[in-house]
Amino acid sequence: MSAIVTVLILILLSFIAIGIVWVVIQNVLTEGSEDITLNSLTLNLELQKIVYSPGQIDVAIKRNSGKGEFDGLRFVLFDGKKSEIIDVPGEIPELGTKTFNVPYDGVTKELSAAPTLTSGTGEVKLGETQIKIEYEDDEIIRNIPGIISWWKLDEDFRDSVGKNHVTEINNAPEFVAGKIDKAVEFGRGGYPNSTDNDYIVIAPGEDLQFGGNGLSLFAWVKQDSSTGDKYLFGNTIDWAFFNGPGQYRGGYGLLIKDNKMHLQAWTEEESASTVSWEIENSEIIDTSWHHLGVTFNGSEATFFVDGTEGDSYLKSSNLLPSNYSFCLGALARNPAYFGLNGNLDNVMVFDRALTNKEINALYESPWN
């Protein structure tokens, strides 16, 4: 008799337990906003691959075994200062893989993704974050599309993202306190020319010798109070040394001329002739650190000072590649001329025009 009673009690307890579980599930389902949160507990999304390209990040995600409905992903991109939320529609069948094309033209320090489900009224319900990746400082810069070289100039002259390492050091450029960690201080023996100029030479490499319709040059710069031409970095030939057809010309360079920033670059012309142009920006008259740079997109060159867009210059043409070594702190063709009195830190070269959002992130973020 007692055994029968025990069995009946166990059966009754089982029904009570089932009833409690169903009440909990029903409450979650009927709350609506929690619906996808419950379903996402059984979702299992796995990051397969990320490809960064100008204006877009392609994120390949695999769905492993698990139940739950979703019709898109919410991506959150963080550049070190600001976050941007981007919803991308798309379903992934169980055990399937899908590449989500995320439109984004900034710099990525962190990327996360969570499943979303859109209700009939258009309300987007958010599940738990399934994908999250955080990049270290060097990885952040390497992920910027088009970067060719990045000389941090902290303890050595190595290229942190490419293969363009220093092959020659003239005179005695010194490591000093920089804008970020260390920087290199350059001095010139005289103006406009002196064999005592401090400068650094990078051996010619195909990646730095590019031409075409895209270019970005950026660095932290602290100049002294002297006037005159000060070549910051580049591989250009100065216009004064161009003596007519037949002489090689090409390359690009960033300089300060009488306290104004200039781009010097050689381009193709429809007439098959070439020109060098120098473009003025607003005056840079103090001796503080400034983030200076220029972009060229094949039709327009635009200057930036401390993350802010400045003057621009229309020029529809392609850049001519250079066969001169890349130089830091002086004119590439003849580094005895127009040396820099001042400091350089975090020099970067790209073979495309960066976006305003990317440039602002480079200026504001503490890892640059």
Question: Is pLDDT at 203 greater than 90 in this prediction?
Answer: no
Co-location of 123 and 151 in the same domain: no
Is residue 13 situated within a structural domain?
A: no
CATH of the domain at 95: 2.60.40
Question: Is pLDDT at 193 greater than 90 in this prediction?
Answer: no
Is residue 7 situated within a structural domain?
A: no
CA atoms within 13 A on the CB side of 335: 27
Q: What is the average per-residue pLDDT within 22-28?
A: 31
Co-location of 150 and 292 in the same domain: yes
Q: What is the average per-residue pLDDT within 145-158?
A: 93
Is residue 11 situated within a structural domain?
A: no
Q: What is the tally of structural domains in the chain? A: 2
Question: Is pLDDT at 39 greater than 70 in this prediction?
Answer: no
**Range(s) of the domain holding residue 305:** 140-364
Q: What is the average per-residue pLDDT within 136-156?
A: 93
Co-location of 353 and 312 in the same domain: yes
Co-location of 318 and 293 in the same domain: yes
Q: Give the per-residue pLDDT at 14.
A: 44
Given pLDDT bands bounded at 50, 70 and 90, which one contains residue 244?
A: low
Extract the tokens encoding 62. 């695999």
Domain end residue (candidates: 135, 168, 183): 135
Give this prediction's pTM.
0.84
Higher pLDDT, 54 or 314: 54
Extract the tokens encoding 120. 């009939």
Is residue 85 situated within a structural domain?
A: yes
Q: Give the per-residue pLDDT at 100.
A: 98
- Per-residue pLDDT of 95-137, as tens digits, reads 999 999 999 999 999 999 999 998 878 888 898 899 999 998 8
Q: What is the average per-residue pLDDT within 17-42?
A: 38
Q: Give the per-residue pLDDT at 37.
A: 47
Is residue 71 situated within a structural domain?
A: yes
Co-location of 179 and 122 in the same domain: no
Co-location of 144 and 131 in the same domain: no
Write the DSSP string, 170-235: ES--EEEE-SSSEEEEE--SSSSB-TT--EEEE---TTTT--BS-EEEEEEEEE-S--SEEEEEE-
Co-location of 245 and 303 in the same domain: yes
- Per-residue pLDDT of 265-293, as tens digits, reads 887 764 444 444 555 556 677 889 999 99
Q: What is the average per-residue pLDDT within 307-326?
A: 85
Q: How far apart are CA 161 and CA 182, in angstroms?
A: 18
CATH of the domain at 279: 2.60.120.200
Domain end residue (candidates: 111, 135, 159): 135
Co-location of 119 and 146 in the same domain: no
Average pLDDT score, the chain: 82
Q: Is the dihedral of CA 63, 66, 69, 70 positive or negative?
A: negative
Domain end residue (candidates: 84, 115, 135): 135
Co-location of 89 and 129 in the same domain: yes
